[in-house]
Amino acid sequence: GDLVLAAPAILLALLLTLVLSHFLPLLLNPKAPRGSFGWPLVGETLRFLTPHASNTLGSFLEDHCSRYGRVFKSHLFCTPTVVSCDQELNHFILQNEERLFQCSYPRPIHGILGKSSMLVVLGEDHKRLRNLALALVTSTKLKPSYLGDIERIALHIVGSWHGKGGNITFCEEARKFAFSVIVKQVLGLSPEEPVTAMILEDFLTFMKGLISFPLRIPGTPYAKAVQARERISSTVKGIIEERRKADCCKRDDFLNVLLSTDELSDEEKVSFVLDSLLGGYETTSLMISMVVYFLGQSAQDLDLVKREHQGIRSTKAKEECLSSEDYKKMEYTQHVINEALRCGNIVKFVHRKALKDVRYKEYLIPSGWKVLPVFSAVHLNPSLHGNAQQFQPCRWE
């Protein structure tokens, strides 16, 4: 009987604690930028994540910017947040990495990426991994076979369209291309090898879980992603072991350079491979799809790109691969890529956290608060880019 009487009191206490913990940061930080916190627990996260066209800001940012200005406070991803749509503040945040701000992705992402991922580790460990990543990428790009490999994979995928009788889903083909290039460069695997298809299947499950609701219950996309990561991890470990056994016939690729370094543990090496797949796969394939999408709507730009490419091709022998010098001549193509990045907004924002109270101009960012520099808001700002929602590659000339 006492328990029955106590239950409503316990429930009320929990409810009050929830409401108080949600709104307390508002009371303790009256000098934070203007804004709203939404409902306890969920805050304004669901509205912030509502899908919208990539060359628009979406109703959440449009509404908040018009109401509170280009820098405002909100409650996102279960934490008090300052959202910046201001070019100068975004630049300031990124320039002060590890001094005033730190990478801070939501906790559930750590469960999928693993504790050694470059997106999760902080401070000196992050710096060490990033420097190593730059060295490895540079050494890969300097390989004589690098550009030839990419061209052969592109021709192989385009060649496979002939028997498909008309329609293809281009974004799927772009994904296939990006994945084949990365797997070839990182693990030395060709698209035809069975293990490549196995890694791709697990990787797609992994990607779905990365952007799903973080519920670790069997059968949910999140739980499936955690299992897929474990499978990819054991596949990569198997490839590493095979390489070590076949020490006599060393291959000239990224994995060999990775294996020859003593700076990383085996777990870090596996995470490094996963980070490489994650960092290059979705962004590269989306980028290629965006370029095709925008060129499909602009006959004039498509014609200029075609003429540029035909001009370069006319100087080459029939089976001759393109060189790095040929790519450097593709000036208008580069303008198209820049403009597709601006309009496509593939990476809309990044997660950071204030390490101390930060004053910038008239704004105070309280210590411990999440900070989201929103790149798309800068890309689509009409005062920085005339006709901001229009695809106009010539603006980069």
My answer on whether 242 and 386 are in the same domain is no
Residue 205: the pLDDT is 86
Find where tokens 């960012």 sit: 365
Find where tokens 């980069």 sit: 396
Residue 342 lies in a domain: no
My answer on whether 150 and 227 are in the same domain is yes
My answer on whether 101 and 130 are in the same domain is no
Percentage, residues of the chain above pLDDT 90: 38
Q: Is 220's pLDDT higher than 90? A: no
My answer on whether 95 and 206 are in the same domain is no
Report whether 72 contacts 35 (CB < 8 A).
yes
Average pLDDT of the residues in 66-82: 93
My answer on whether 128 and 103 are in the same domain is no
In whole angstroms, what is the distance from residue 339 CA to residue 345 CA? 10
In whole angstroms, what is the distance from residue 78 CA to residue 49 CA? 13
b (16+ CB within 10 A) / e for 186-224:
bbbbebeeeebeebbebbebbbebbebebeeeeeebbbb
Of 270, 274, 269, 268, nearest to 116 (Cα)? 268
Q: Is 301's pLDDT higher than 60? A: yes
Domain CATH number, residue 271: 1.10.630.10
Average pLDDT of the residues in 120-146: 80
Residue 367: the pLDDT is 93
CA-CA-CA-CA dihedral for 131, 196, 204, 218, to nearest 10: -110
Higher-pLDDT residue of 269, 178: 178
Q: How far is CA 137 from CA 141, 175, 191, 258, 261, in A?
A: 6, 20, 21, 11, 14
Find which of 6-15, 95-104, 130-139 is predicted with most confidence, using mean pLDDT.
Answer: 95-104
**Six-digit token pair at 341?**
């990045």
In whole angstroms, what is the distance from residue 274 CA to residue 260 CA? 18
Average pLDDT of the residues in 10-36: 73
My answer on whether 211 and 261 are in the same domain is yes
Region of poorest pLDDT, from 25-29, 236-240, 358-362, 377-381: 25-29
Q: How many domains does the chain have?
A: 2
Average pLDDT of the residues in 35-53: 86
Q: Is 200's pLDDT higher than 80? A: yes
Of 339, 330, 341, nearest to 284 (Cα)? 341
Q: Is 341's pLDDT higher than 90? A: yes
Which among 297, 315, 339 is the end of a domain?
Answer: 297
pTM metric for this prediction: 0.84
In whole angstroms, what is the distance from residue 243 CA to residue 270 CA? 14
Higher-pLDDT residue of 121, 80: 80
**SS3 category, 256:** helix
Report whether 191 contacts 178 (CB < 8 A).
no
In whole angstroms, what is the distance from residue 85 CA to residue 198 CA? 41
My answer on whether 227 and 275 are in the same domain is yes
**Six-digit token pair at 338?**
């820049």
Q: Is 26's pLDDT higher than 80? A: no
**SS3 category, 278:** helix
Q: Is 251's pLDDT higher than 70? A: no
My answer on whether 129 and 237 are in the same domain is yes
Domain CATH number, residue 101: 3.30.43.20
Report whether 349 contacts 77 (CB < 8 A).
no
In whole angstroms, what is the distance from residue 182 CA to residue 323 CA? 19
Residue 331 lies in a domain: no
Range of the domain at 223: 123-297
Average pLDDT of the residues in 66-93: 94
Residue 328 lies in a domain: no
